[in-house]
Structure 1
Amino acid sequence: MFFHFITVNYNNCNFTKEYIYSINSIPLDEGDHVNVIIVDNKSNNEDYRNLEIFCRTFDSVELIRNDTNLGYFKGLNIGITIAKKDSNTLIIAGNNDLTFDKDFLKNLKKIAYNKNTLVIAPNIITLEGRQQNPHVINEVPRIEKIKCEIYYSNYYIGQSLRFINRLFRNPLNKNEKILTNDFGQMPIKRGIGACYILTPHFFDFFEKLDDRVFLWGEEALLSNQVESVSGITLYDPTIKITHHESASVVNIESKKRYDINKASYKIYKKYL
């Protein structure tokens, strides 16, 4: 089989280098091939140069530099466009702050998916042990949609809601048992946006990901793509990834982050 790993770098090449190391540490069966496509979203010259020198040491790594910061899914689509797509190829598209389990490819190859399976959502686990998938199993409850409307009505209202949410969530974070799940393989509405595996059947219908948002809200747009052609997103707990979380956005100022989120929300809210 052929596996394309595609990610986006933006001023955090140290995460990207660890991402590449992680992929190259995964054992391969005879006949399997891995290719890594790094799309740089116009990082500063020092970061890009550092990454460029590093990538030259790997035959299986291809580095592309954009002339501007295109955002997350648009950046991934640059890599998806040039990746080989056939019945024997899987595309693993996602963040650069990921560490892949040694058995990631072995277990991925075991998944018996059918022609309706367009996307596979892996078992993504944070450094604290919190499982981020399944992200949304069924429909989003109406109360959550109302919360979103309130949150995006005003920056200061939104920050107040975030503060209240943290007050209730923090006690739960101390209990890892509450934060883990025992779900087996199952169809879900959507997976967390940190990583998706696109099957060959995805490309029977689409050439690329729906990239109408710059950042955030990608999960809703992708689930809409899948559901629009009666496809499914399949969650599988055996293919594991460690997520370092928000490597590319941690330094974005709070108000700017809110404004980006709100702009995206206007686009994806009808797909919640």
Structure 2
Amino acid sequence: MQDDKYDFIFIVLTYRNTKDLSDFIITTKNNVKNSYKIIVVNSYYDEESCKAFNRIANENECDFLNVENKGYGYGNNRGIEFAKKKYDFNYLIISNPDIEINSLSISDLVGTEDYIIAPKITTLNGKNQNPYYYSKIELFEWLIYFYYKSGNRLALYVSLILNKLYRELNLFIDWLLRLKRRKIYAAHGSFLIIGHSALEKLGSLYDEKMFLFCEENHLARLANSKHVKTYMIPSISVLHKEDGSVGLEKNKSVNPAKESYIVYYENWKRSSNN
């Protein structure tokens, strides 16, 4: 049964670091004037951190879900399912806790209910993280897949260099044209806005076989397959502190980026061949 209607529902996946969540809630209160609700989804680490997250959520009138630590996709999917069952809303936002919102208004999103929206995401060192990819270029993805399967570092370097050149050229063109809205292929996953109509078309957002990394690639493919467009709107702006609130224990025997990318690439390759 659904309760109130909100302009924004935030899904914030947490892991261990409680300070990030507190900072996120404070900056959201200060800078978001439209109606919103925050759903805190905790990927369980231990009882101490779980109780701390629950306390912070309760003190700030946020919903709290505690789930097994089965990865980024698993946690966010559970949060999205909860939001869709409990609330009516215009936009769902997937956000890292290490985000500080600078500017977010429903007035900047008029007419985007069917889209995925990428804001301007700036890191502490001034790097722009959006767009994640301007275009879908199969060669770049295959080169990275080839690197992970073969260990050929040249393939990785060629892909990274070509993608960087392509991205920087388009960023420069956007800057020259002063575009207020730009169609892109993939949005950075640290802060992602999804219109309610787009969310209904997309269904389950994340592939839970991927523990961490490559979520942007998967979501871009999913949106493309469901004919959901992605736009970048620079007037919406956030700071990404990049301090790794959602992370893995250090384990040299595990390479989650490699494992996730192979799962991502091979799953979508099979899907395209069917």
Could you state the TM-score of these two structures normalised by the residue count of structure 1?
Answer: 0.79
> What is the aligned-residue identity percentage?
23
Structure 2 equivalent of residue 62 of structure 1: 63
1:39 counterpart SS class: strand
* Distance in 2 (alpha carbons) for counterparts of 1:51 and 1:256: 30
1:240 maps to which of 210, 228, 237: 237
Displacement of 1:139 after TM fit? 2.2
1:198 maps to which of 189, 194, 201: 194
Instruction: Tell me if structure 2 keeps the 8 A contact 1:90–1:198.
Output: yes
Q: Flag the 1:120–1:260 CA change in 2: closer, same or farther, 3 A.
A: same
Give unmatched runs, 5+ long, in structure 2: 1-5, 165-170, 270-274
Structure 1 equivalent of residue 119 of structure 2: 122
Structure 2 equivalent of residue 217 of structure 1: 214
1:93 paired to 2:71: no
Displacement of 1:227 after TM fit? 0.8
* Distance in 2 (alpha carbons) for counterparts of 1:114 and 1:250: 31
Instruction: Tell me if structure 1 keeps the 8 A contact 2:184–2:231.
Output: yes
Instruction: Tell me if structure 2 keeps the 8 A contact 1:150–1:158.
Output: no
Displacement of 1:181 after TM fit? 6.6
Q: Flag the 1:147–1:43 CA change in 2: closer, same or farther, 3 A.
A: same
Displacement of 1:154 after TM fit? 5.9
Displacement of 1:249 after TM fit? 5.5
2:59 counterpart SS class: coil
Instruction: Tell me if structure 2 keeps the 8 A contact 1:39–1:64.
Output: yes
1:38 paired to 2:43: no
2:111 maps to which of 100, 110, 113: 113
Instruction: Tell me if structure 1 keeps the 8 A contact 2:39–2:65.
Output: yes
2:149 maps to which of 153, 167, 191: 153
Q: Which amino acid aligns with 1:83?
A: A
Give unmatched runs, 5+ long, in structure 1: 170-177
Deviates more, 1:40-49 or 1:245-254: 245-254
Q: Which amino acid aligns with 1:93?
A: I
1:12 maps to which of 17, 24, 27: 17
* Distance in 2 (alpha carbons) for counterparts of 1:268 and 1:154: 17
Instruction: Tell me if structure 2 keeps the 8 A contact 1:9–1:43.
Output: no
* Distance in 2 (alpha carbons) for counterparts of 1:36 and 1:222: 22
Q: Which has the higher helix share?
A: 2
Instruction: Tell me if structure 2 keeps the 8 A contact 1:15–1:247.
Output: no
Structure 2 equivalent of residue 173 of structure 1: none
CA RMSD of aligned residues (A): 3.0
Provide Cα deviations, 1:221-261, integer angstroms capped at 9, x if missing partner: 1111111122201111110010011513566437355x211
Q: How many pairs align?
A: 248
